[in-house]
Amino acid sequence: MEQVEKLPSSIKTIWQIKALITLGIWLIIAVALLVGKNWASGFFEQFLFGASLAALIIGVLNFAFDMGLVNYHWNYWTYFIDGRQVELHHGFFFRKQIIIPIARVQNVTLKQGPILRLKKLQKVVVETAAGAEDIAGLDEKTADKLKELIMKLAQEARNDI
């Protein structure tokens, strides 16, 4: 894999579902505060109404922001693997480049939660002694190939040392 790869476009749906779940949580908080207002009186009643309104506004703004950034995230999230390193790039305004030397890789794990399972996607977690980085949203075949490739390259790098 000697070229820069992008995440599959089906990850966009996952990010949209994540935004909907976050909106749902904010709406539950807003409704709970509104229901709690019915048992309060005076200043506390007004406070709960204001807090409910604030939670609703934050939730809607967060949802709009997340939905607006789905294409941005997809366009600027890439990865690259060669015999020396795993490179992860994301962001345009706030760029982040993560380089993991192959010789430092200790473990590669595949993870798949219920939302990723909807689109038959997996997360590849590359672990080193310093921490872990992940490539979320690869299709199952690509994720498995990537795991095998990274582990093979890591084993070869360890044998060379």
If asked whether residues 66 and 107 sit together in one domain, one would say: no
Query: Do 64 and 81 reside in the same domain of the chain?
Result: no
Within a domain: residue 154? yes
Is 38 part of any domain? yes
The pLDDT, as a whole number, for residue 123 is 96
> Both 29 and 64 in a single domain?
yes
Q: Does residue 147 share a domain with residue 107? A: yes
Residue 94 has what pLDDT?
87
User: Quick one: pLDDT at residue 1?
Assistant: 59
| 103 and 45 co-located in one domain | no
Q: What is the pLDDT of residue 50?
A: 94
DSSP 123: E
Examine the domain organization and report whether 149 and 101 are in the same domain.
Answer: yes
What is the helix, strand, coil percentage profile of the chain, to 5?
Answer: 55, 25, 20
Cβ(114)–Cβ(130) below 8 Å: no
Q: Would you say residue 1 lies in a domain? A: no
Q: What pLDDT score does 44 carry?
A: 87
- In angstroms, the CA 67 to CA 81 distance is 29
Per the domain annotation, does 3 fall within a domain? no
- The pLDDT, as a whole number, for residue 27 is 97
The answer to whether residues 107 and 64 belong to one domain is no
Residues across the chain: 161
Specify the number of domains making up the chain.
2
Q: At 152, which CATH number?
A: 2.30.29.30
Contacts of 138 (CB under 8 A, 6+ apart): 7, 8, 121, 122, 123, 124, 146
Full residue range of the structural domain in which residue 128 is found: 76-160
pLDDT at res. 37? 85
Clarify whether residues 36 and 52 are in a common domain: yes
* 126 and 110 both lie in a single domain: yes
User: Mean pLDDT per 10-residue run, the chain (161 residues)?
Assistant: 86 96 98 88 88 97 96 93 92 89 94 94 94 93 94 86 64
Q: State the pLDDT at residue 51.
A: 95
Domain-ending residue, one of 21, 40, 71: 71
